[in-house]
């Protein structure tokens, strides 16, 4: 039995009958809907819904997209991603023209964890890899990354969007960071991306919260300097600054403890600049405290950089009340027409 949330006619953004690709709400809503399309593709597979019984197609066809390819995990054969092509009905562009009026030519979307037996074991395994900072070593990520490389190589970075939710947001973020290091800056919509750290953002007292963050920045900066002393190569390499030109759109909810730390991560950087401690924070924001500690004591020097560290972002915070964690973490919130949003642009200097 399909749930109401899977049916586009009951839960989708039916109010978006005329897409303005220069409208931030429209762009975000379409990207979120395409991610939801991946969720429903996998649910259709699990429930053996085919043909007219399939519920996934309206989630992209409503916005004039065509499903080009499903991305299949090589372990459990679940659908974890999809490649969509924009095909407006009265197309005024042909295949040789770059996207017009801000629309994408292709969107590569990744879903998050599905808590159903047919896919949960593999999805949870990927979640563990995120916590261990090892997503880049998984075959699912490599399949998705190769799809991104191939698409960018064929049509160019300006014609490709990335989108993902939760685990899928981590996939899209890592793919976007990987491409950005090669000079390809893809438009990206990252919904509820995981940020693994102590839940400082949940502290109500602003002074206490700010004090903890300042102390953390000082300790992190100190360890970063110590790590540089042990690893001279790091002095000349600055991958963080190289990423600063990439500005993905991060969509987070303060009631979602899995992603809410992004709010403090970026706001604290601004506050440190205001109190004259910008140099400390510019160093601290590039590093993970746990990773630095292991480097200083002689372990993990060559470990991959933490996924959640980002130089720049368009941060969208949903301030609308959430009934529970499931709603705060869900993808459906991002196309509601009555959202109370706070949008901020953060650029790494």
Q: By the 8 A CB rule, do 346 and 313 touch?
A: yes
Other beta carbons within 10 Å of 160: 23
Q: How many CB atoms lie within 10 A of CB 117?
A: 8
Report how many domains make up the chain: 1
pLDDT number for residue 101: 65
Span between the terminal Cα atoms of the chain, in Å: 52
Which domain, by its residues, includes 74?
21-88+107-194+309-346
Residue pointed to by tokens 């070593």: 137
Residue 81 belongs to a domain: yes
User: Is 188 part of a structural domain of the chain?
Assistant: yes
What pLDDT was estimated at residue 224? 60
> 3-state SS string over the chain?
CCCHHHCHHHHCCCCCCCCCCCCHHHHHHHHHHHHHHHHHHHHHHHHCCCHHHCCCCHHHHCCCEEEEEEEECCCCCCEEEEEEEECCCCCCCCCCCCCCCCCCCEEEEECCCCCCHHHHHHHHHHHHHHHCCCHHHCHHHHHHHHHHHHHHHHHCHHHEEEEEECHHHHHHHHHHHHHHCCCCCCEEEEECCCCCCCCHHHCCCHHHHHHHHHHHHHHHHHHHHHHHHHCCHHHHCCHHHHCCCCCCEEEECCCCCCCCHHHHHHHHHHHHHHCCCHHHHHHHCCCCHHHHHHHHCCCCCCCCCCCCCCCCEEEEEECCCCCCHHHHHCCHHHHCCCCCEEEEEECCC
- Give residue-wise pLDDT tens across range 109-148: 999 999 988 888 999 999 999 988 899 999 999 999 999 9
Name the token pair of 270.
């601004």
Q: Give Rg (Cα) of the chain.
A: 20
Pairwise CA distance, residues 159 & 206, whole Å: 42
Dist. CA 81–CA 37, nearest whole Å? 9
175/125 Cα distance (integer angstroms): 19
Which pLDDT score is estimated for 116? 87
Q: Rounded to whole angstroms, how far apart are CA atoms 328 and 335?
A: 13
Q: Domain for residue 95, yes or no?
A: no
Domain membership of residue 60 (yes or no) is: yes
Beta bridge partners of 190: 164, 250
pLDDT score of 306: 77
Residue 163 CB neighbours (<10 A)? 30
Residue-wise burial string across 43-77, b where 16 or more C-beta atoms lie within 10 A, e elsewhere: bbbebebeeeebbbbbbbebbbbebeebbbbeeee
Position 113 in a domain:
yes
* Pairing label, strands 160-165, 187-191: parallel
The reported pLDDT for the residue numbered 293 is 44
**Residue 248 covered by a domain:** no
- Asked if residue 239 is part of any domain, the answer here is no
Q: Which has the closest alpha carbon to 82: 91, 73, 74, 90? A: 73
Residue 70 β-bridge partners: 82
Instruction: Flag residues of the chain having pLDDT under 70.
Output: 1, 91-101, 198-239, 271-272, 274-305
Domain assignment present for 126: yes
Question: What is the C-alpha separation between 157 and 169, in angstroms, rounded?
Answer: 18
pLDDT (0 to 100) of residue 272: 64
């Amino acid at each position: 039995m399909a749930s109401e949330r899977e049916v586009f006619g009951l839960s989708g953004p039916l109010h978006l009958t005329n897409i303005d690709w220069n409208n931030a709400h429209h762009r975000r809503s379409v990207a979120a809907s395409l991610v939801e399309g991946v969720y429903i593709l996998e649910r259709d597979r699990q429930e053996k819904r085919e043909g007219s019984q399939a519920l996934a197609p309206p989630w992209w066809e409503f916005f004039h997209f065509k499903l080009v390819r499903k991305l299949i995990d090589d372990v459990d054969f679940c659908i974890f991603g999809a490649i969509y092509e924009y095909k407006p009905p009265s197309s005024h562009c042909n295949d040789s023209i770059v996207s017009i009026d801000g629309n994408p030519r292709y969107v590569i979307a990744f879903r998050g964890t599905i808590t159903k037996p047919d896919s949960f074991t593999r999805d949870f395994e990927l979640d563990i890899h995120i916590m261990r900072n090892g997503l880049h070593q998984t075959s699912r990520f490599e399949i998705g990354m190769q799809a991104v490389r191939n698409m960018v190589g064929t049509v160019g970075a300006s014609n490709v969007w990335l989108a993902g939710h939760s685990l899928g947001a981590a996939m899209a973020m890592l793919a976007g960071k990987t491409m950005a290091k090669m000079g390809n800056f893809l438009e990206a919509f990252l919904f509820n991306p995981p940020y693994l750290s102590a839940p400082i953002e949940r502290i109500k007292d602003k002074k206490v919260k700010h004090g903890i963050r300042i102390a953390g920045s000082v300790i992190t900066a100190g360890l970063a300097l110590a790590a540089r002393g042990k690893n001279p190569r790091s002095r000349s390499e600055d991958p963080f600054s190289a990423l600063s030109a990439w500005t993905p759109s991060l969509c987070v909810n303060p009631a979602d403890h899995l992603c809410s730390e992004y709010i403090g991560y970026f706001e604290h950087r601004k506050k440190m600049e205001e109190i004259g401690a910008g140099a400390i924070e510019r160093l601290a924001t590039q590093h993970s405290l746990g990773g630095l500690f292991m480097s200083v004591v002689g372990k993990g020097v060559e470990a991959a950089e933490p996924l959640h560290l980002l130089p720049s972002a368009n941060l969208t915070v949903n301030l609308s009340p959430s009934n529970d964690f499931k709603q705060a973490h869900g993808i459906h919130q991002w196309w509601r027409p009555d959202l109370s949003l706070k949008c901020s642009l953060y650029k790494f200097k």
